Copies of this chain bind each other. A is one copy, B any other.
Amino acid sequence: MDQSSPRNTSVTVADVAHKAGVSKATAARALGGYGTVSDRVREAVTAAARELDYRPNELARSMTTGRSGTIGVVVGDIENPFFSLAVRGITDVARQAGFTVILINSGEDFVAERAAIGTLLAKRVDGLIVSPAKENDVEHLHEAVRSGLPLALLDRGSDTLDVDTVIADDRHAAENITRRLIALGHSRIAYLTACDTPDHRFRTAKDIGTGSVRRRIEGFLGVCREAGMIGTEDWVHVGAITPEHTQRIVTEMLQSAQPPTAIIASDSIIGLEVFKVHRRLGLSIPDDLSLVSFHDADWTSVTTPPVTVVRQPVYDLGATAAKLLVERLNGEAQTPRKVVLKNEIVERASTREARF
């Protein structure tokens, strides 16, 4: 069986043309569906192609057409449910539009991100969707744009980069949730993020390179200031880059002389660790501690108590970014569009009045 079947490694248009008794050019036209070919010839070529199990070499095609039918995607960490869901949104839309996705993890590392962009440029992707680790270090993205490559930004914008951008209204969500906590009587509210600073300490929101997170922190700090709270900056903790880091930070925080009465977790991975630590320390949510987490991860509704979350339109974030990019690739592009999707606060049982 196996050996009767032809090895289709390198069955080329030339082979098909030969078998069909026509020229290479004609065969190519018939196969590619462009130019004009007589029905008789088209059939002959199609038959020959089928018989030989001809598969066009996309690489060669790309080289002449200049289009690769590929979209490069660079995200922080595919293992993070946030990104895996966003990527799902991207790939669904991309495939529908006939594009294949090349996915690269940056690990939220700027250097890795730059390398990823380089790889994708070399592979001649038709377009790029990136979730920049640092909004200020985007020279590599400028370069890509300069070279004429369409780019869409996902979840994180950049002031200096005038390209299609899709983000959620994270500042607004942070403001809202902070207001609610303050209304509940909380005055010691901690914000915990994976983003890091060189010395692992937080001073000002400007130090936070990740745009979405910076906006959240700005919102948080702004509302606290409005409420007359001072020294709120000290309640922002950075560097929760692994579960272990997070556990250490949270444990220290909760065991300090002035423990927070509420914690805002910047993503669901951090939220989960906060939840684990409070258990281990024998505390009670929401009696001893209120918890709010960004990202409505699936598990947040089944814990005891279920966790109040900021429900971000994650799938749509990805899908929309892909849509904008595809439209641009298809030449339906206007000036760069900035899309801001709405977050929704889902209040569950992990938040309650502060205890005095």
Contacts and interface: CB of A to CB of B under 8 A. Distances in A.
Interface string A223-250: 0000000000000000000000000000
A57 B60 CA distance: 12
A73 to B, nearest CB: 9
Contacts of A303: 299, 302-304
A57 B124 contact: yes
A105 B91 contact: yes
Contacts of A299: 272, 297-299, 302-303
Between A59, A88, A102, A124, the greatest number of chain B beta carbons within 10 A of the residue's beta carbon is seen for A59
Copies of this protein in the complex = 2
Interface in A74-108: 77-79, 81, 84-85, 87-88, 91-92, 95, 100-105
Contacts of A85: 79
B118 A55 contact: yes
A256 interface: no
Interface residues of A, number: 56
Interface string A41-62: 0000000000001011111101
A87 B103 CA distance: 10
Contacts of A121: 55
A5 interface: yes
Contacts of A146: 2, 5, 7-8
Nearest to A79: B88
Nearest to A2: B146
Given A272-B298, A272-B302, A148 B59 contact: no
A275 interface: yes
A213 to B, nearest CB: 21
A257 interface: no
A59 B68 contact: yes
Given A272-B299, A301-B276, A100 B119 contact: yes
Contacts of A281: none
A18 interface: no
A78 B68 contact: no
A58 B123 contact: yes
A332 to B, nearest CB: 22
Contacts of A302: 272, 275-276, 279, 299, 303
A38 interface: no
A87 B77 CA distance: 11
A56 B299 CA distance: 46
Given A7-B148, A59-B63, A299-B302, A105 B118 contact: no
Given A84-B84, A124-B58, A8 B147 contact: yes
Interface of A: 2, 5, 7-9, 53, 55-60, 62-63, 68, 70, 77-79, 81, 84-85, 87-88, 91-92, 95, 100-105, 118-119, 121-124, 142-143, 146-148, 269, 272, 275-276, 279, 297-299, 301-304
22 contacts: A7-B148, A8-B146, A55-B118, A55-B121, A57-B63, A58-B123, A58-B124, A59-B124, A60-B63, A63-B63, A70-B102, A77-B88, A79-B85, A88-B105, A91-B103, A100-B119, A101-B103, A272-B298, A272-B299, A272-B302, A298-B299, A299-B302
